[in-house]
Each structure stands twice: as structure tokens, then as C-alpha cells.
Structure 1
Amino acid sequence: MKRFEERKLGVAWLTLVVVTVTGFTIAEAVFIKPLSVALVMALSGVKARLVLYRFMELNEAPTGLRVFFNAWLLICVLMIFGLYSVA
């Protein structure tokens, strides 16, 4: 069982690395800045959710707590993108 958990964490770590490199590539390659910011913020939300669920074990938390943190994460990502769009 421990081996399975280690594998899940390894896959999560590798996914975080791939998403980070993808975000960096998008930020450097896409010349439409609002689009690149939207994509990078979406990827950042995916990374944050992965960290919450895999490394902080939110998947074992009560439903109310999971709903709160998912809503908080969505609001943060949308607010950062909204503030970028206004500026």
C-alpha cells in the first residue's frame, strides 16, 4: 500500500513539473497577453488544486471544507485575472 501512495505522489509531482513548464512556455510564446495570462492563471489553479488534494490531503476532508477551498481557489484565480484585465 505504501508503494502505491508513493507512486501517486510521484505522479502528482511530475504533473506539477509538466504544468509549470507548460505555463512558462505559454507565458513566453503566446503574444496575446490577456490570453496568456488567462491560460497561466488556469494552470496555476490546476496546480494549486493538485497540491491541496494530493499533498495536503483535502480529498479526505469533509465535503464542506472541500467546497470552501475549491470556491476560494476559483475566486482567487478569477480575481487575479480580473484585476489584470482592469489594469
Structure 2
Amino acid sequence: MSVLRERITVVWLGLMVATCLTTWGLSQDLFSPAVAVTGIFLIAALKVRYVMLDFMELRHAPTGARAFFQSWIAVVVLVILGFWFATTSLT
């Protein structure tokens, strides 16, 4: 039972729930495309953050390295969403 109490197990379960949420919840026609795409990318960014911190062991890395990788996630998501919103407004 101690495996269920470990942080890595809780993070893994959270990642699985987030995957199901994006796969089933946001891919349906329940939301507008803008809301769905934004939600999918924000959840993906959160998942990448937890993978980096817990599975790649950056949680105990120096502060500068953690800040760099977490800001990298934000920059990539903002660039992708920026391009997506810029191209959808052109059509």
C-alpha cells in the first residue's frame, strides 16, 4: 500500500486523469474550438511540467535550471497558441 502514498504515483494518476480529460472532454463538440485548443494546450503544459519535475527529477535541481525549463514550457505554449489564434483569425 505504500506505493499509493508516494508522490510519483499520485502524479502519474493525475497525468492519466488529465489525459482522459483532454481526450474525451475537450475533443468533443461541447466547447468552441478556441476554448478546446486553449484548454488542451494548457493541460498539456501542466502535464509536461509535472513530467519534468517528477519523472525527470528537476524538482530537486538548482533553481535556475527549474526556472529555465518551466519558462520554456510557457514560451512554447504561448508561441503555439499565438500562431493558432493568429491563423484562425485570418480565415
Partner of 1:41: 41
After superposition, where does 1:46-85 map in structure 2 within 5 Å?
46-85=46-85
Runs of 4+ in 1 over 6 A off after TM superposition: none
Structure with larger RCO (C-alpha < 8 A, sep 6+)? 1
Where does the alignment leave 5 or more consecutive residues of structure 2 unmatched? Answer: none
RMSD over equivalenced CA pairs, Å: 1.8
Deviation at 1:41, TM superposition (A): 0.5
Percent identity (aligned) = 32
Q: What is the identity, as a one-letter code, of the residue corresponding to 1:74?
A: A
Deviation at 1:30, TM superposition (A): 3.1
Deviation at 1:50, TM superposition (A): 0.5
Where does the alignment leave 5 or more consecutive residues of structure 1 unmatched? Answer: none
Partner of 2:22: 23
Deviation at 1:9, TM superposition (A): 1.5
Structure 1 residues 5 and 22 mapped into 2: Cα distance closer, same or farther (>3 Å)? Answer: closer
**CA distance in structure 2 between the partners assigned to 1:28 and 1:47 by the alignment:** 20
Deviation at 1:14, TM superposition (A): 0.7
TM-score where L is the length of structure 1: 0.87
1:11 pairs with 2:10: yes
Deviation at 1:5, TM superposition (A): 9.2
